[in-house]
Amino acid sequence: MPSSIRVRQYQSMEHVSRDITLLPKAHLHLHFTGSMRPTTLIELADKYGVHLPEALKGGTPPKLRATDERGWFRFQRLYDIARSCLREPEDIRRLVREAAEEDVRDGSGWLEIQVDPTSYAPLLGGLIAAMEVILDAVDSASRETGLGMRVLVAANRMKHPLEARTLARLAVRYADRGVVGFGLSNDERRGMARDFDRAFSIARDGGLLAAPHGGELTGPASVRDCLDDLRASRVGHGVRAAEDPRLLRKLAERGVTCEVCPASNVALGVYERHEDVPLRTLFEAGVPMALGADDPLLFGSRLAAQYEIARRYHGFTDAELAELARQSVRGSAAPEGVRAKLLAGIDDWIAD
């Protein structure tokens, strides 16, 4: 075959958009309640007599504009309403199983789901009982779906740091039952990262990875705080680091993975348009990324859609999407055997 024909065929193949759902990937930023299917929420709300606002019924995702106080209050109110519909162990098992099914459908081979067990403890018999229910549900869902699945316990930065220490000890206690990391979520404009340094020290000493939220609602300083005060190995979101070239270099040099959630960033008003999310800036600076869905219940899109955003709005080629998937796997807590299988699958996807 003449070389000119081979080149044209190769170029043609490069412009063929491969099926994103067939690209193996790891999902490192998915919140527990926020993973729920809208149809499931509607059924549970009917079961418990909870009135749902239209924003929680699975229509057009609301523009929450959480960058201002009113928007964040609305976001939290919607989240609290949804969480109030998880009252029995069977509700937890259903949520986890369906989250796993959705991830498998989107090509995920590994999921680290983030949960604050204190939110469910009052209705499930206490903190330890809640943790047991959650981990049993994760174990069952993993076996039923074939998805590698683990838990990241997250403290709430709106609460006292002593509560975070309690959660860190709980997380370490269950490190051999499926807990792989410790996080810090909620409004990063509240509380200083350094207030939670002892909790993260407990978690790290117990062998857990540190993955606090930072660089979403506030700027690059919150990402630096995650690195310097909490010794983060991953940062939840982290996109605002794009505003500081020195910080980008620091993230790249340390190999700190940013769990970037493009649809969430736009829905919460961090950026006005999908094109504004600085995926290219982070990628070209060498900052590892793991695209995540954050809260599909509220933002209306799951894991594969985040890769489609990178393709459609930021011009990521299939080769670049494959590299994003590799970065998600490398940033995960997956065992070496799982990593090797996923990385081999990514190579096969791009080779086809």
**Mean pLDDT on 32-47:** 96
Residue 112 annotated as catalytic: no
**Mean pLDDT on 133-160:** 97
The predicted pLDDT at position 48 comes to: 97
Question: What CA–CA distances, in Å, run from 314 to 67, 274, 328?
Answer: 23, 8, 18
The verdict on residue 60 lying in a domain is yes
Indicate the range of 109-118, 148-157, 188-197, 283-292 predicted with least confidence. 188-197
Under 8 Å between Cβ of 280 and 256:
no
**pLDDT of 8 over the 60 cut:** no
The predicted pLDDT at position 66 comes to: 62
Indicate the range of 8-22, 29-43, 151-165 predicted with least confidence. 8-22
The predicted pLDDT at position 15 comes to: 57
Alpha-helical (H) ranges within the chain are 3-14, 38-48, 69-83, 89-105, 121-124, 127-145, 161-173, 197-205, 220-230, 245-254, 262-267, 279-284, 296-299, 303-314, 318-330, 336-351
Backbone angles phi, psi at 170, to 5 degrees: -65, -45
**Mean pLDDT on 219-226:** 95
* Residues above pLDDT 70, as percent of the chain: 93
The verdict on residue 75 lying in a domain is yes
Under 8 Å between Cβ of 91 and 85:
yes
Indicate the range of 143-147, 172-176, 214-218 predicted with least confidence. 214-218
The verdict on residue 134 lying in a domain is yes
The predicted pLDDT at position 6 comes to: 33
**Mean pLDDT on 155-183:** 96
**pLDDT of 7 over the 50 cut:** no
Domain that holds residue 164: 21-351
The CATH number covering residue 145 comes to: 3.20.20.140
**Mean pLDDT on 205-227:** 95
pLDDT band at 1 (very low <50, low <70, confident <90, very high): very low
The verdict on residue 1 lying in a domain is no
pTM, entire model: 0.93
pLDDT band at 188 (very low <50, low <70, confident <90, very high): confident
Under 8 Å between Cβ of 130 and 121:
yes
The predicted pLDDT at position 55 comes to: 85
The verdict on residue 4 lying in a domain is no
**pLDDT of 57 over the 90 cut:** no
pLDDT band at 67 (very low <50, low <70, confident <90, very high): low
The verdict on residue 10 lying in a domain is no
The verdict on residue 7 lying in a domain is no
The predicted pLDDT at position 16 comes to: 67
pLDDT band at 339 (very low <50, low <70, confident <90, very high): very high
The predicted pLDDT at position 13 comes to: 43
Residue 60 CB contacts under 8 Å (≥ 6 apart), including other chains:
300
Residue type, 126: G
**pLDDT of 105 over the 80 cut:** yes
The structural domain count of the chain equals 1
Alpha-helical (H) ranges within 54-111 are 69-83, 89-105
* Residues above pLDDT 90, as percent of the chain: 83
Q: What's the mean pLDDT when you consider all of the chain?
A: 92
**Mean pLDDT on 263-286:** 95
DSSP secondary structure code for residue 33 in this structure: G
Under 8 Å between Cβ of 278 and 242:
yes
Q: How far apart are CA 222 and CA 244, in angstroms?
A: 12
The verdict on residue 6 lying in a domain is no
Indicate the range of 8-17, 128-137, 178-187, 298-307 predicted with least confidence. 8-17
Q: How far apart are CA 219 and CA 236, in angstroms?
A: 13
* pLDDT tens digits, 246-264: 999 999 999 999 999 999 9
Q: Which of 216, 243, 284, 308 is catalytic?
A: 216
